[in-house]
């Protein structure tokens, strides 16, 4: 009987020490990581898409092209890849995801990091074509803000086109 009491006492002592040490408490689950988006398209596909849109605009005229670019069910909205159009003053001419922005000057809009992304895109388009990193709402990822790589190209001296792929973050700046 004395041996049973000794085993019980030692067991209670060990259980108490484990409880005090926190070994028996359940760990709270760590927060779920932020959803990451894997680009659905490559940079090369995006550039080819914009080239195709510029050629379409030059062959079919500005008015017809803008109508097609603004159509979310049209030929320039493909699996999350779409064309947007702006004039060099920063006014939206076509946007299939945000049609309410058509006619709105967005030159002073910033992304969540404070970047004047429309200005940056416009400035690159003024030089012909190129890339800009920024943050924008992804319609294919439950409208969450995601990093985006935009590619733009000048159509003529009055307007430019662009597209972008989500999930591509800017490389770290060299120190």
**pLDDT per residue over 33-44, tens digit each?**
444 555 567 999
Q: Name the pTM for this structure.
A: 0.74
The pLDDT-based confidence of 1 (bands split at 50, 70, 90) is low
Q: Where are the domains of the chain?
A: 43-166
Pairwise CA distance, residues 19 & 36, whole Å = 38
Locate tokens 């680009």: which residue? 39
How would you label 5-33 residue by residue, b for 16+ Cβ within 10 Å and e otherwise?
Answer: eeeeeeeeeeeeeeeeeeeeeeeeeeeee
Q: Among 3.30.450.20, 3.40.710.10, 1.10.357.10, 1.10.3720.10, name the CATH number for the domain at 43-166.
A: 3.30.450.20
Instruction: Classify the C-alpha dihedral 90-67-160-163 as positive or negative.
Output: positive
- At residue 80, the pLDDT reads 80
Residues 97-114 have a mean pLDDT of 94
Q: Residue range 87-101: average pLDDT?
A: 96
Q: What is the pLDDT of residues 115-154, one digit of tens each?
A: 999 999 999 999 999 999 999 888 778 888 889 999 999 9
């Amino acid at each position: 009987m004395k041996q049973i009491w000794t085993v019980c006492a030692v067991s209670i002592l060990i259980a108490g020490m484990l409880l005090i040490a926190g070994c028996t408490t359940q760990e709270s689950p760590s927060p779920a990581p932020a959803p990451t988006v894997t680009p659905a398209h490559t940079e090369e596909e995006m550039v080819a898409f914009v080239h195709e849109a510029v050629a379409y605009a030059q062959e079919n005229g500005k008015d017809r092209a803008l109508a097609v670019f603004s159509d979310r069910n049209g030929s320039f909205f493909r699996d999350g890849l779409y064309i947007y159009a702006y004039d060099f003053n920063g006014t939206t001419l076509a946007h299939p995801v945000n049609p309410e922005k058509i006619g709105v000057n967005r030159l002073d809009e910033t992304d969540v990091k404070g970047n004047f992304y429309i200005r940056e895109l416009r400035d690159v388009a003024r030089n012909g074509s190129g890339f800009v990193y920024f943050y924008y709402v992804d319609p294919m990822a439950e409208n969450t803000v995601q990093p985006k790589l935009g590619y733009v190209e000048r159509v003529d001296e009055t307007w430019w086109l662009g597209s972008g792929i989500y999930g591509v973050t800017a490389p770290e700046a060299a120190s």
